[in-house]
Structure 1
């Protein structure tokens, strides 16, 4: 019986061997003539794991902007990889476009030997490995040298095509289930407004309390991760915006990290403190460690329920407060002092717990764990196809 797993040829290839790398740049906003052109320009926020077109552009720039800045036109069907802020995020450009300096593009790939979606999927599997190597005092990142050294399995083009077909079909199934879940997510938000009213105007007259009186920002960093090797490592890219669902994470040992992470427990919530992910809040049901780009937050028992707090921190009310405090170019993060300064309506704990119980009932209706099953299967399939480069 023929194995369903591709037959590897026992060879690995580095990203640097696949083509040339090309860096990007950002045209100066001091020159209005650089903008309102026809050339798409993107940053790492646009990298979606698939294809990007003109409609995905963050800005449209002119030919003069290209000529007089560090940005360059990336030929169509190149592979673009985030090396800062969104380290490891990947996309393929369907049209020629320019990128910021936070992206390195792999150009000139031999299409007769390589399916670019295969390379993109392999890099997405390697994203946690890249993120673990990020360094920097203000904005952590990797060098193009680190990216070029990443290895992926070398398999025949027909096998690459089959890998892509299998994984894309699985992604479509995950996407279908996610759409079905949107109705349940909307139900939770509707119930929140029904129970607590408009937070900004505090229509119910709840007492306004400072953050530090009902939650602890738990920044006790673990400098030795040996006790956590078998536990999950959560990065901000593992947290889904809006819902806080967790996916795509691996264990501390698999990611190869050794220090500098925040431990958390099932009593914590995890909050992304870095732009542009300031609405990302996760509610883990396990212990582990999280990226230093996130804060583990421990609600004080009897004062605040973490489900209620998470919903508040995903709201426009919270973003309106926190966004202006994270906009500095050299420090696009929320610091502990800024977060501690947030105040919000705090209903009676009994009412918060009623909301949490409602959310728990909705969670039970989420296709009996179907999304978790599909995400797990997707991770297993990715590992089956790409982990050989780590183990040979």
Structure 2
């Protein structure tokens, strides 16, 4: 028989730990120290269990920073900022630490199976429970009061197994879509040829002739609890997509907004980065207003060209190789 119970009665909650910069960057140690970006990276790679981590610490450091040790089979997630809205979840596989932008919830095994609880958490939109502030955030005291349906363990195992199979199917189709994306890129070359050979004899021109406006983003630093989301070079992927899993915030005067905000259809170009990453570009395809960081150029094109076409060209091997030569 199933019944509804409060999360606070059937789970143990874990808070994050402040992570001083002087202890960051170690790739080996007793404890992985998960940040929001680590959770996002694992989820984006298709991992339910946290497999990759960028930072490790040893026991001495954990004691020095008064770290809260989070056990295995704990569901962890971002509790503040834009990442909260993405609803990404991961399961810990060993004793670890989480930073103070992350919360962990471990189900009590006499009530909940970890697989069932994980999928239930993935279906829980935490934004609905966030505080009414500029920056979304959730509190333990509010989450503890959420009701969860608790079937018997056998039924939970059956549900988790079914959802595992569905997830595997979804992952398979995602990989097929990635192959289709590669096919689209190949089709682009097939239709328009390989520049600069131009075997199709298409009309050519200079990029500046199809551009209506070019602006740099803001050079102002990101701030905690800023008014606006801050779009940085790390939010543009190498293959021409937006990745908003790790968004900072910024405060900026109203009179500067027009020159450094983005709108749907803007082409974003990463002007400064490592040699192999400079020149990353994508189309901003959202309606939400964001402020652009200074290492990214905002390009607005004329009606002679679609922004998607320009980005497809900029992401060809030729364009990227040209960028690496400059």
Q: TM-score range by the shorter chain?
A: 0.5 to 0.7
The within-5 A match list for 1:279-358 is 297-298=263-264, 306=265, 309=266, 312-313=267-268, 335-336=290-291, 338=293, 342-344=297-299, 346=301, 349-352=303-306, 355=309
SS of equivalent to 1:77: coil
Match of 1:167 in 2: 163
Separation (CA, whole Å) in 1 of partners of 2:308 and 2:55: 45
SS of equivalent to 1:37: coil
SS of equivalent to 2:151: coil
Are residue 22 (structure 1) and residue 14 (structure 2) matched?
Answer: yes
Unmatched 5+ stretches in structure 2? 197-203, 216-236, 249-260, 282-287, 313-326
1:19–1:352 Cα change, 3 Å: closer
Shift of 1:168: 1.4
RMSD of aligned Cα (Å): 4.3
Which structure has greater helix proportion?
Answer: 1
Are residue 210 (structure 1) and residue 206 (structure 2) matched?
Answer: no
The answer (yes or no) to whether the contact 2:37–2:245 under 8 Å persists in 1 is no
Moved more, 184-193 or 81-90: 184-193
Match of 1:117 in 2: 115
The within-5 A match list for 1:1-392 is 9=2, 11-31=3-23, 36-47=28-39, 48=43, 51-53=48-50, 55-85=51-81, 86-87=83-84, 88-107=87-106, 109-127=107-125, 130-135=126-131, 139-189=135-185, 205-207=206-208, 208-210=211-213, 276=246, 297-298=263-264, 306=265, 309=266, 312-313=267-268, 335-336=290-291, 338=293, 342-344=297-299, 346=301, 349-352=303-306, 355=309
Match of 2:284 in 1: none
Unmatched 5+ stretches in structure 1? 1-7, 213-240, 245-270, 279-294, 299-305, 324-332, 359-392
**TM-score of the superposition, structure 1-length normalised?**
0.52
The answer (yes or no) to whether the contact 2:27–2:54 under 8 Å persists in 1 is no
**TM-score of the superposition, structure 2-length normalised?**
0.61
Shift of 1:118: 0.7
Provide, for residues 52-85 of structure 1, a one-character-per-residue CA deviation record: whole Å limited to 9, x for no partner: 34x4112111212211224322111122232113
Separation (CA, whole Å) in 1 of partners of 2:59 and 2:175: 40
1:35–1:172 Cα change, 3 Å: closer
Match of 1:262 in 2: none
The answer (yes or no) to whether the contact 2:270–2:280 under 8 Å persists in 1 is no
Aligned length in residues: 250
